[in-house]
Amino acid sequence: MAHFTKATSLHDWLNQRLGVDTLNRVLATEYWIPKNINFLWAMGMILAITFGMLLISGIFLLMYYQPNVNLAFDSVNYTIMQEVGYGWLWRHVHGVAASVVFLIIYIHMFTGIYYGSYKKGREMIWISGMLLFVAFSAEAFSGYMLPWGQMSYWAGMVITNLFSLGGLHADGLVEWIRGDYVPAQAFLNRFFMLHVLLIPLAIIGLIALHFGALRIPHVNNQDGEEIDFEVESKKYLAGDTKNSKVIRFMNDFLAKDMMVVGIFLIFFFYLVFYHYDFAMDPVNFDPANGLHTPTHIYPEWYFLWSYEVLRPFSTNVGLIAFAFAQVIFFFLPFLDRSPNAVPASRRGLFQIWFWAMLIDMIVLTAMGKVPPEGSFSVIGHYAALTFFALWIALPFITKFEKKV
């Protein structure tokens, strides 16, 4: 048994039992971050904080929400919005955060792609991040079901129908997922369970994995420089903080991180208070009606690009295209054949690939929003084809990339 002495303070008492000093050193004060990074490296912290806001606002919504097809709509639109003191605040924080979190995820992802932060030992960071993206997508979808408005119902109908797997007609599978022939009580209840328990648990676990994956390869920097963290941290600890290429995570790096978080929060609460409507589709303020389809069914903006990839094709081809779009980003570290882990600006053709991919996804997003008619449908079709062409081209253009 370990030897315990009479504690001199509460801190000492805790330290003897939990090793809080060691914990603090390993997790914060001697966790090293390169100096050479910019504000884009603060997106991770913004995501963590946004997830925290989703959790807290969700807890308060959970106290009044009723997962029942007859009560759900009113429990949200009447009880929470009209009766509960500051209920509107939790709902708008939850709704806006659910939308904004995807904006930040996309910035976070494309930052990683631009700076090559998915290579040379950082593959698991990328893969765990993509798993988080999938988990967040499932969380967003299941949450969208809960107000039980028209968009909830019809999004639920359309997305669960994807599991009939096109020409395979796996209607039994669709009915199994729904627990009914159509989205109804069993469906609402199980998606409620997924939204408030199972998926959040998975997300928390994946966040731990994502942070863990960062430990050994460390954070990348904006020049793709390979830093010897061992040497640089020794320099720092010896007092040569000026020449060291790294700083402490806490408090040094966090100071800047939280500065960016502060700016983000001002923008975020501006949206919550003055522009929450962008995250609230007007169609979803009609109660769910299984006998009436809304004129246009479209997902929230963050799913539009993958929806547009599905839309121009016949059922089976569309489904395959959709499945491809869902998983292809996972393979980025292996499809990129170049050993260069440097910013895209120094990688020749890859720089063009990066911007083409970014623009193509924005075009797909825009075309996913408008009705599938006339020239929109044509642009959408070509944007979808471009998406696949870019992924097919990636291994070739990176294979012949010059070593920098």
Residue pair 145/191 in contact (Cβ under 8 Å)? The answer is yes
Minimum Å distance from CB 190 to other proteins? 7
CA dist., res. 330 & res. 348, Å (int): 23
- Cα angle, residue 206 at apex, residues 183 and 66 outer, rounded to 5°: 35
Minimum Å distance from CB 108 to other proteins? 31
Concatenate the DSSP letters of all residues of 145-197 into one string.
Answer: HTT-BHHHHHHHHHHHHGGG-GGG--HHHHHHHHTSSSS-HHHHHHHHHIIII
Alpha helices (H) in 280-371, listed in sequence order: 304-310, 315-328, 332-335, 349-369
C-beta of 66 vs 161, nearer to other proteins: 161
CA dist., res. 291 & res. 140, Å (int): 25
Minimum Å distance from CB 146 to other proteins? 19
Minimum Å distance from CB 236 to other proteins? 47
C-beta of 316 vs 345, nearer to other proteins: 316
Q: Compute φ and ψ for 370, nearest 5 degrees.
A: -85, 155
Query: Given the structure tokens 């040497």, which residue do they identify?
Result: 231
Minimum Å distance from CB 192 to other proteins? 14
Q: Would you call 18 helix, strand, or coil by DSSP?
A: helix
C-beta of 308 vs 336, nearer to other proteins: 308
Summarize as ranges the residues that interact with other proteins (CB under 8 A): 154, 157-158, 161-162, 166-167, 169, 171, 175-182, 184, 186, 190, 290-297, 311, 313-316, 318, 372-373, 377
C-beta of 5 vs 314, nearer to other proteins: 314
Token digits for 24? 């603090």
Minimum Å distance from CB 180 to other proteins? 5
Beta bridge partners of 149: 287
C-beta of 82 vs 316, nearer to other proteins: 316
C-beta of 190 vs 235, nearer to other proteins: 190
